[in-house]
Structure 1
Amino acid sequence: MPTVAPYDIEGHVVTTAFLGNTAFFAAASGEIHRLDGGAKVTEAHHGLLTCVRDPFSPSLLTGGEDGRVLRISATGDVTELANVPRKWISNVAGGPQGAMGYAIGRSSFVRLADGTVKEFTESRTVEAIAFAPKGLRLAAARYNGVSLHWAGMAAEPMDLEWKGAHTAVTFSPDGRFVVTAMQENALHGWKLDGVKNSDEARHMRMTGYPAKVKSLSWSPKGKWLASSGAPAAIVWPFSGKDGPMGKAPLELGTRADIMVTQVAFHNTDEILAIGFIDGMILGVRISDGKEALLRRPGKGAITSLGWSASGRLLAFASEAGDCGVVDIAG
Structure 2
Amino acid sequence: MPTVAPLDLEGHCIAAVFLGGVPHFALADGTIHRLDHGHKTLAVHDGLLCATLDQSGSRLITGGEDGRICASSGDATEVLAEAGRKWIGSVACGPQGAIAYAAGRSAFVRFADGRTREFQHPRTVEGLAFSPKGMRLGVARYNGVTLHFPATDGKPAELEWAGAHTAVTFSPDGNFVVTAMQENALHGWKIADGKHMRMTGYPAKVKSLSWSAKGRWLASSGAQAAIVWPFQAKDGPMGKAPLELGTRGNAMVTCVACHPSQDIAAIGYDDGMVMAVRFADTKEVLLRRPGKGAITAMMWDDEERRIAFGAETGDCGVIDIAG
The verdict on a shared fold, with TM-score over 0.5 as the criterion, is yes
Report if the CA contact (8 A) 2:20-2:57 is conserved. Answer: no
- 1:24 is matched with 24
User: 1:198-277 residue pairs with structure 2 within 5 A?
Assistant: 201-277=194-270
Letter in 2 for 1:126: V
Q: CA deviation at 1:106?
A: 1.0
1:45 paired residue number = 45
Confirm or deny: 8 A CA contact 1:233 1:260 kept in the other structure. Answer: yes
Deviation by residue 1:11-38 (Cα, 9 ceiling, x = unmatched) = 2221101113110000111110111111
The yes-or-no answer on 1:141 pairing with 2:134 is: no
Give the C-alpha shift of residue 79 in structure 1.
1.2
Aligned-residue offset at 1:124: 1.2
Is the CA contact (8 Å cut-off) linking 1:19 and 1:309 kept in structure 2? no
Gaps of 5+ in 1: 196-200
Q: Distance in 2 between matches of 1:55 and 1:99?
A: 9
**Post-superposition CA distance 1:254-302 (Å, at most 9, x none):** 0003100000001111110000000000000111110000000000110
Preserved CA contact (<8 Å) 1:56 1:96? no
> Please, what TM-score do these two structures have when normalized by structure 1?
0.96
Contact residue 144 and residue 159 of structure 2 kept, 8 A: yes
Q: Which residue of 1 aligns with 2:8?
A: 8
TM-score, normalising length from structure 2? 0.98
Distance 1:94 1:56 in 2: 10
- Aligned twin of 2:274: 281
What is the match of residue 111 of structure 2? 112
Distance 1:219 1:278 in 2: 24
The answer to whether the 8 A contact 2:144-2:161 is kept is yes
**Structure 2 residue 65 is the aligned partner of structure 1 residue 65:** yes
Percent identity (aligned): 63
Instruction: Confirm or deny that 1:167 pairs with 2:166.
Output: yes
- Tell me, in whole angstroms, the C-alpha distance in 2 between the residues paired with 1:13 and 1:209: 24
C-alpha contact (below 8 Å) 1:20/1:308 kept by paired residues: no
C-alpha displacement at 1:323, in angstroms? 0.7
Q: Distance in 2 between matches of 1:134 and 1:96?
A: 9
Over 3 Å counting, the alpha-carbon distance change for 1:311 and 1:30 in structure 2 is same
Secondary structure of the 2:298 match is strand
Corresponding residue SS for 1:114? coil
Match of 1:198 in 2: none
Distance of 1:249 and 1:157 partners within structure 2: 32
Stretches of 4+ aligned residues off by more than 4 angstroms: none
Alpha-carbon displacement from aligned partner over 1:51-92 (angstroms, at most 9, x marks no partner):
11223442111011111000112x242111111221111210
When the two chains are superposed, the root-mean-square deviation of aligned CA atoms in Å is 0.9
What is the rounded CA distance, in whole Å, between the counterparts of 1:258 and 1:40 in structure 2? Answer: 33
2:116 equivalent to 1:123: no
Residue 33 of structure 2 corresponds to 33
Q: Tell me the distance in 2 between the aligned counterparts of 1:76 and 1:253.
A: 38
After the TM superposition, which of the residue ranges 36-45 and 110-119 deviates more from structure 2? 36-45
Distance 1:154 1:320 in 2: 45
After superposition, where does 1:67-82 map in structure 2 within 5 Å? 67-73=67-73, 75-82=74-81
CA contact (8 A) 1:108 1:126 kept: yes
State whether structure 2 residue 303 is matched by structure 1 residue 303.
Answer: no
Deviation at 1:144, TM superposition (A): 0.4
Question: CA offsets per residue over residues 142-182 of structure 1, 9 Å max, x none?
Answer: 00000000011000000000000000000000000000000
Unaligned runs of 5+ in 2: none
